[in-house]
Amino acid sequence: MAAAVNDTLGTDANTVVAAPKTPASEQVLRVAIPVGMLVLAIVAWEVYVLASGTPKYILPSPVDVVGALAIGWPTLLPSLWVTLSITFEALFLALIGGVGLAIILVQSKWIELALFPFAVVLQVTPIVAIAPLLLIYTPNTQTALLIVAFLVAFFPILSNMVQGLKSVDHNLLNLFDLYGAGRWQQLVFLKIPASMPYFMTGLRIGGGLSLIAAVVAEFAAGSAGAGSGLAFRLLESGYRLDMPRLYAALILLTATGVAIFGVTSFISWLVLHRWHESAVRREN
């Protein structure tokens, strides 16, 4: 077919037209511009603090923050580890629970109807508000934090996955019926692949929310001492007016958030870039 089109256009088959390439300078700029802006902002911050003489306990300079990070490392690192493990355990459980329950829900409308009220009640209740209750029911604070973070990350994954599993092309379902595919084949070869774009949205939202929930739940639960996460270090530094350390803890949280966003976006790209419009570059 392609040959026929070429003939009608009178294109010489030997003519080679180079595909347009993104110039190297543009590729450098794509990295240089955001990094440069970030560096510029940090420099401006440093200059402002030095020039205005703002005291450290109100606004520390970037150099102070880096210093605090270096000095506070022995306490900040274990706290970072606690927050990270709660975040990722919660996200992992939410992925298993959300995807698993979504698959069960779409098997029959009766199961969906039966479980629907519970899903709505849990979803509309501000989960952080039940943190004090969970503290009573669970053996330790960490478990309570894990449950809160799990519940928060669970619903976006569940609802996206249910939507995805239901959004299968009806004619493809007909085709599977025509070839006598069983439920299992329909799930594995059709419904799960078709729901991947939705799952990836759930993963990105759930990943961000599990970190937020791990921090907010720790604020609400008010853990202290050994085994505390970064949220406790934030509160502690605030009480001591140790602003450089507070900023250092904050930067660790931000870096964690950026890393989670980067990893989930990369997974999403890896799975979808060959076929889904959202991940394919538009070229006209």
Partner 1 sequence: MAIIETSTSAPPPASASNDRPVVTLHAVSKVFSNGTLALSNMSLTVRRGEFLSLLGPSGCGKSTALRIIAGLGAPSSGTVDWPSSTINAKGLPQGDIGFVFQDPTLMPWTTVFGNVYLPLKLHGMSKADARPHIMETLALVGLADFAEAFPRELSGGMKMRVSIARALVTNPKLLLMDEPFAALDEITRQKLNDDVLKLWRSSGVTVVFVTHSVFESAYLSNRIVVMRSRPGQVFTDIALATSATRSDEYRTSEEYRATTALVSKALQDAIHAGGGAH
User: Contact positions toward partner 1, by CB under 8 A?
Assistant: 1, 169, 171-172, 174-181, 185, 189-190, 193-194, 196, 274-277, 280
If one counts every other C-beta atom within 10 angstroms of the C-beta of residue 215, the result is 23
Write down the least CB distance from residue 19 to partner 1, Å.
Answer: 14
List, in order, residues 6 or more apart from 144 with CB less than 8 Å away.
Answer: 131, 134, 135, 137, 138, 217, 221
Write down the least CB distance from residue 274 to partner 1, Å.
Answer: 6
Q: Which is nearer to partner 1, 5 or 121 (CB)?
A: 5
Secondary structure letter of residue 120 according to DSSP: H
List, in order, residues 6 or more apart from 182 with CB less than 8 Å away.
Answer: none
Write down the least CB distance from residue 178 to partner 1, Å.
Answer: 5
62-107 and 192-221 helices, crossing angle to 10°: 130
Work out whether the CA dihedral 17, 18, 21, 23 comes out positive or negative.
negative
Write down the least CB distance from residue 120 to partner 1, Å.
Answer: 27
Q: Which is nearer to partner 1, 67 or 193 (CB)?
A: 193
Q: Which is nearer to partner 1, 240 or 273 (CB)?
A: 273
Q: Which is nearer to partner 1, 52 or 171 (CB)?
A: 171
DSSP 140-202: SHHHHHHHHHHHHHHHHHHHHHHHHHH---HHHHHHHHHTT--HHHIIIIIIHHHHHHHHHHH
Q: How far is CA 278 from CA 99, 201, 261, 275, 284, in A?
A: 21, 11, 16, 9, 16
Q: Which is nearer to partner 1, 48 or 275 (CB)?
A: 275
Write down the least CB distance from residue 103 to partner 1, Å.
Answer: 18
- Please compute Rg for the chain using Cα positions: 26
Write down the least CB distance from residue 20 to partner 1, Å.
Answer: 17
Nearest to 254 by CA among 198, 202, 212, 201: 212
Q: Which is nearer to partner 1, 137 or 269 (CB)?
A: 269
Rounded-to-integer distance, Cα 148 and Cα 46, Å: 38
Q: Which is nearer to partner 1, 73 or 189 (CB)?
A: 189
Write down the least CB distance from residue 281 to partner 1, Å.
Answer: 12
